């Protein structure tokens, strides 16, 4: 099927990037069509009420009833997720670097960080919101908190994962500590950094929505809370899908960055 | 290879050259950790290598050959005795970027293309971009990797990776070249070919070479001297002068003296094993 559709695209004179994009998008599109179609049919056939599970067409309608409004709320959640992810990852990377260079610091702090990392976000979010107030800042603080640990731990592991023989190569070539960091330890840490970033992408979207559950007057979490109270389930489901979409786009951006940053890494092979 | 370097290597009286690498009563004991006993790796090593001499080290696995190389590369300090390069501690030579080292594995940086791997020591030494590019082109030519400058290390074969590692070791034109079984993991035919390239490269660079190998044939074919070590704790039990004519080629193996020397080296090695059993 791929080969046939590719040939067709070439005959139609489609540019190569379009062919490549099509090759990536058609399999999930087919999945969406089959699942969505089956879902729609089942709802009609079994006459399931819309507040229980709405049919895709009803969710679609709910979205188009006021698309601008939903998108504004989605934008706020996205802003909270992205800023928290960026700030938390940066701070985490800095602390992880400290851990990698100072075993004493790591031994002194790491147990508490691991303990703090296991606190569920629903438990910590109210406290953070109490501290940072009712605005968007408190939601960013929650996502920052969540993004902090994955990067601190992965950065530490990454910076420690350099090859000992390569270290010897740098030693014999009389490299200074800064060159060792920049040209050896940091590049070998990058694959780990991206593992951490991908965790953070998911965490920070979840974190933003949970924080909005606790207290908010805007954002997708707010929409989900209020529509649930009024049993406007199709609109709730629309918000749900948008939040998933945000996560996907965000993840896609990190994936693209990874391709740019570590094209040499074995996970980036194109032949699989 | 130019005829002049061949003459300089083959015909100049070796004794006239100044001592370059020197071990004096060097011993190495690795302190055991967590209840493990201490390991004595080297025992009372005395060895002098002259400027531009090609010396091979041969001995059973674990006898301390890599340790000896690591001492002269200033990667470890000996527990006893002195190591020196041109009468100075190895640290001086290392900081002066006069040491090139090829390890048992290629140890290329997988995030750098071949050309940038080769240029690494120049970059670390603060050499400018243009000069780096010129030198890298030269080195790629020398080790036969032209056309692969933009490849990633994982796209190279094992032999090509080792050649890249050799080019990298040569980048700063070191006076001392340390090679730790550079072709250990390759098949015999590839190995022979790369050995001949190594002869050519070493003659072109005029460095003092210390090569660790497990093959007595390889050692005889390449070297001015073959130093035989005993099983652990490593001692020097023989020091054979290889007076085969230069330039060496694969045809050197047909020389009657070649077989003799291989024979002698082998029996010295075996004598080392017998001695350790007693
Ligand atoms: N860092 C270290 N700590 C403890 N023991 C070591 C260390 N490095 C080497 N040794 C020990 O010293 C001995 C000599 O090791 P070395 O690597 O020099 O041997 P080798 O002659 O190069 O062997 P091979 O031919 O197998 O490479 C070995 O018994 C080894 O276990
Ligand atoms: Mg060794």
pLDDT, tens digit, for every residue of A36-90? 999 999 999 999 998 899 999 999 999 999 899 999 999 999 999 999 999 999 9
Count Cα neighbours of A87 within 13 Å in the Cβ-side half-sphere.
16
Q: Which residues of A touch B123 (CB under 8 A)?
A: 183
CA of B61 to the centre of ligand 2 (A): 7
Give the range of the structural domain holding residue A138, as residue numbers without chain letter: 75-268
B125/A174 Cβ within 8 A: yes
Mean pLDDT of chain B: 88
What was the pLDDT predicted at B9? 45
A187/B109 Cβ within 8 A: yes
Question: Could you give the CA distance from residue A107 to residue A53 in angstroms, rounded to a whole number?
Answer: 50
What is the residue with the minimal CA distance to atom 5 of ligand 1? B30
What was the pLDDT predicted at B195? 87
Query: For ligand 1, what atom is nearest to the CA of residue B67?
Result: 18
- CB interface of A with B, residues 36-95, below 8 Å: none
- CB interface of B with A, residues 134-163, below 8 Å: 152-154
CA of B180 to the centre of ligand 1 (A): 12
The pair of three-digit structure tokens given for residue A105, joined into one six-digit string: 């610091």
Whether residue A56 is contained in a domain is answered as: no
Q: Ligand 1: does its nearest atom lie under 6 Å from the Cβ of B75?
A: no
Quick one: average pLDDT of B232-260?
Answer: 90
The pair of three-digit structure tokens given for residue B20, joined into one six-digit string: 């370059």
ipTM of this predicted structure: 0.88
Q: How far B83 CA lies from chain A's nearest CA (Å)?
A: 16
What was the pLDDT predicted at B205? 81
Quick one: average pLDDT of A103-128?
Answer: 91
Pick the ligand that lies closest to the CA of residue B59.
1
CA of A173 to the centre of ligand 2 (A): 20
Residue B8 has pLDDT above 80, yes or no: no
Name the band, by pLDDT with cuts 50, 70 and 90, for residue B193.
confident
What was the pLDDT predicted at A132? 94
According to CATH, the superfamily of the domain at B3-98+174-274 is: P-loop containing nucleotide triphosphate hydrolases (3.40.50.300)
Question: Of A66-80, A147-161, B62-76, B187-201, where does mean pLDDT reach its minimum?
Answer: B187-201
Residue A250's CATH number: 1.10.3720.10
Residue B16 has pLDDT above 60, yes or no: no
Query: For ligand 1, what atom is nearest to the CA of residue B59?
Result: 21
Q: What is the pTM for the complete model shown?
A: 0.85
Quick one: average pLDDT of B233-254?
Answer: 90
What was the pLDDT predicted at B5? 42
Domain count, chain A: 1
Residue B204 has pLDDT above 90, yes or no: no
What was the pLDDT predicted at A146? 93
Residue range A229-271, pLDDT digits in tens: 999 999 999 999 999 999 999 999 999 999 999 988 877 665 4
Most confidently modeled range among A14-28, B196-210, B234-248: B234-248
What was the pLDDT predicted at B198? 84
Residue range B80-108, pLDDT digits in tens: 999 999 999 999 999 999 999 999 999 99
Question: Could you give the CA distance from residue B200 to residue B179 in angstroms, rounded to a whole number?
Answer: 15
Non-local (6+) Cβ contacts of B10 within 8 A are B245, B246, B247
In chain B, CATH 3.40.50.300 covers 3-98+174-274
Residue range A178-212, pLDDT digits in tens: 999 999 999 999 999 999 999 999 999 999 999 99
The pair of three-digit structure tokens given for residue B13, joined into one six-digit string: 């009286």
Name the band, by pLDDT with cuts 50, 70 and 90, for residue B275.
low
Residue B132 has pLDDT above 90, yes or no: yes
What was the pLDDT predicted at A200? 94
Name the band, by pLDDT with cuts 50, 70 and 90, for residue A218.
very high
Pick the closest to residue B240 from B51, B42, B21, B58 (CA basis): B58
Q: A170 and chain B: CB distance < 8 Å anywhere? A: yes
Quick one: average pLDDT of B48-67?
Answer: 94
Residue range A118-152, pLDDT digits in tens: 888 899 999 999 999 999 999 999 999 999 999 99
What was the pLDDT predicted at A2? 57
Whether residue A41 is contained in a domain is answered as: no
The pair of three-digit structure tokens given for residue B195, joined into one six-digit string: 């050995």
Residue range A2-15, pLDDT digits in tens: 567 667 766 777 78
- Is the CB of residue A173 less than 8 Å from the CB of residue B125? yes
CB pairs under 8 A between A and B: 60
- Is the CB of residue A239 less than 8 Å from the CB of residue A70? yes
Whether residue A33 is contained in a domain is answered as: no
Higher pLDDT, A17 or B109: B109
Quick one: average pLDDT of B148-167?
Answer: 92
Element spanning A38, H or E: helix A16-46
Residue B271 has pLDDT above 90, yes or no: no
């Amino acid at each position: 099927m791929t080969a046939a559709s590719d040939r067709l695209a070439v005959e139609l004179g489609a540019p190569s990037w379009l062919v490549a994009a099509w090759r990536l998008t058609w399999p999930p599109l087919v999945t969406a069509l089959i699942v969505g179609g089956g879902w729609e049919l089942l709802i009609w056939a079994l006459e399931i009420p819309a507040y229980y599970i709405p049919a895709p067409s009803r969710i679609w309608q709910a979205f188009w009833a006021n698309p601008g409004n939903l998108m504004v709320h989605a934008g706020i959640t996205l802003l909270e997720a992205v800023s928290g992810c960026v700030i938390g990852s940066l701070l985490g990377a800095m602390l992880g670097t400290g851990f990698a260079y100072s075993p004493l610091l790591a031994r002194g702090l790491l147990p508490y960080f691991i303990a703090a990392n296991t606190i569920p976000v629903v438990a910590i979010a109210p406290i953070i919101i109490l501290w940072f107030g009712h605005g968007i800042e408190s939601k960013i603080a929650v996502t920052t908190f969540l993004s902090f640990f994955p990067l601190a731990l992965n950065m530490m592991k990454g910076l420690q994962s350099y090859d000992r023989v390569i270290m010897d190569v740098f030693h014999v070539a009389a490299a200074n500590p800064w060159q060792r960091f920049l040209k050896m330890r940091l590049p070998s840490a990058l694959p780990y950094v991206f593992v951490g970033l991908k965790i953070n992408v998911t965490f920070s979207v979840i974190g933003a929505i949970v924080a909005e559950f606790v207290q908010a007057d805007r954002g997708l979490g707010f929409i989900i809370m209020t529509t649930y109270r009024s049993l406007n389930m199709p609109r709730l489901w629309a918000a749900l899908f948008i939040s998933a979409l945000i996560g996907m786009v965000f993840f896609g951006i990190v994936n693209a960055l990874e391709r740019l940053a570590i094209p040499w890494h074995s996970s980036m092979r194109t032949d699989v | 290879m130019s005829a002049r370097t061949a003459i300089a290597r083959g015909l100049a009286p070796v004794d006239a050259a100044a001592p370059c690498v020197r071990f004096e009563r060097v011993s190495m004991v690795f302190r055991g950790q967590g209840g493990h006993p201490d390991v004595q790796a080297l025992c009372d090593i005395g060895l002098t290598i002259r400027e531009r001499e090609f010396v091979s080290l041969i001995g059973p696995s674990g006898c301390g050959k890599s340790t000896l190389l690591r001492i002269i590369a200033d990667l470890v300090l000996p527990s006893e005795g002195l190591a020196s390069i041109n009468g100075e501690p190895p640290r001086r030579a290392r900081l002066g970027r006069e040491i090139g080292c090829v390890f048992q594995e290629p140890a290329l940086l997988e995030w750098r293309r071949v050309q940038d791997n080769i240029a690494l020591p120049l970059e670390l030494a603060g050499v400018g971009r243009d000069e780096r590019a010129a030198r890298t082109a030269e080195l790629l030519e020398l080790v036969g990797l032209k056309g692969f400058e933009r490849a990633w290390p994982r796209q190279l074969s094992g032999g090509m990776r080792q050649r890249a590692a050799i080019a990298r070791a040569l980048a700063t034109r070191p006076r001392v070249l340390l090679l730790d079984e550079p072709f250990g993991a390759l098949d015999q035919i590839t190995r022979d070919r790369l050995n001949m390239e190594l002869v050519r490269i070493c003659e072109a660079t005029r460095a003092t070479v210390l090569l660790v190998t497990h093959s007595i044939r390889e050692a005889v074919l390449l070297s001015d001297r073959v130093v035989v070590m005993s099983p652990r704790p490593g001692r020097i039990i023989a020091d054979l002068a290889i007076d085969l004519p230069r330039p060496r080629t694969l045809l050197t193996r047909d020389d009657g003296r070649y077989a003799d020397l291989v024979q002698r080296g082998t029996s010295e090695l075996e004598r080392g094993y017998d001695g350790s059993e007693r």
